[in-house]
Amino acid sequence: MGGAERWFVRFQAAMPRHGGPMEAVVRCGSELTRPGVIKVPLHQVPMHTVWDPLSKAALSKVIRQSGAPIVQTYMGRATRLTRVEPGRGVVHVSRLGGYYKVDPFRHAHAWIGNTKGLCDWMVEQGLPANRVFHIYNFAESATRADATRLQDLRRRLDIRPEDWVIVTAGRLIEIKGHRHLIDALRRLPGEVGGRRPRLIVLGDGALREPLEQQARQLGVAKRIYWAGWQYDPSTWFHLADMVVFPSDDGETLGNVILEAWAYGKPLICAAFRGAREIAHHGEDAWVVPCGDPAALAQAIAALMGDAEIRAAMVEAGLRRVERDFGEAAIIEQHRQLYRYLVDSLNP
């Protein structure tokens, strides 16, 4: 599970809320098959490898029996296993959430990119511009804070009222830049304006052990709580005084930006590709260069000491969610695109 899977979960739950019937097809035994995760009719197929003929046959059967005019695939394996002949009344839309190799996606009939930069890149890679479409992700609606759960969490983590809680979220892989944030924590004093900086890391992955080792070597291990993967991160976002997203330049969009805005939290992020497109430094986010722990530390300390700019950033972030990244507006963009594709790509 990661940001891509969480987007899939949000999308399949949102579509029916806005009048769009939907069925989901996922790999057998994946985390997405846990009870209650998928809210729409669910099909499971093996998806063992991208060459598996049994998986291709199983997907073709599901598509045929569903009668759906639109088949949308997300991620490489699902796309490569899905084969829909053009002009047969079914349109295959492939949604890309990253700068992947394009060849495994070329056989789709149309493509969605979740940033403008990604769409431009897809066209540069040879996909036809008139069938590449840009639609942003929508922000997950912030749930109401549960005061009892928050109090219990603070007690369990030994978080004092005067502590400053920094939350970061993302799979523990190189592109997410966690090592820069740990280095930045080392550069902060034990207290800033009488408040102790404390970092909570939401997520898991192959780099957890190396990152924990880095924290020990830098002497900041006691300042960090490794929360692991959270199916429901809402309480953790409510707990945060600040959200920091330190990804390297290869990060495409960065859903954590949208989550920070939706939960009304001051945001510091690195100037990766997606942030350069959607975040505005000094307005709705504090943007620092990628891979610069010193700049991250300076930004954290600066925002900790300036309540006025924090409040202004939170207000601007909430406006951005309402204006540009609302669920209803983004789902309607998908539905309009589907109607256009069905009308224009079928004889």
- At 233-287, the pLDDT tens digits run 999 999 999 999 999 999 999 999 999 999 999 999 999 999 999 999 999 999 9
Question: Could you tell me the domains of the chain?
Answer: 3-138+326-345 (3.40.50.2000), 147-322 (3.40.50.2000)
pLDDT for the residue 310: 97
First to last CA, the chain: 39
Look up residue 38 and give its two tokens. 């998928």
For 330, phi and psi rounded to 5 degrees? -70, -40
Please give the Cα distance from 61 to 52 (Å, whole number): 15
With a CB cutoff of 8 Å and minimum separation 6, the contacts of 40 are 12, 13, 15, 16, 22, 23, 24
The SS3 assignment for 121 reads helix
> Under DSSP, is residue 309 helix (H, G, I), strand (E, B) or coil?
helix
User: Helices marked H in 36-161 — which ranges?
Assistant: 53-66, 76-81, 116-124, 147-156
- Model confidence pLDDT, tens digit, residues 297-326: 999 999 999 999 999 999 999 999 999 999
Q: Is 194 helix (H, G, I), strand (E, B) or coil?
A: coil
Are 61 and 34 a contacting pair, CB within 8 Å? no
Query: What is the number of residues in the chain?
Result: 347
The candidate with the shortest Cα–Cα distance to 257, out of 195, 321, 327, 180, is 321
Token pair listed for 139: 């922000």
Q: Judge whether 333 and 324 are in contact, CB under 8 Å.
A: no
Q: Chain-wide mean pLDDT for the chain?
A: 94
Cβ within 8 Å of residue 318, ≥6 positions away: 261, 262, 264
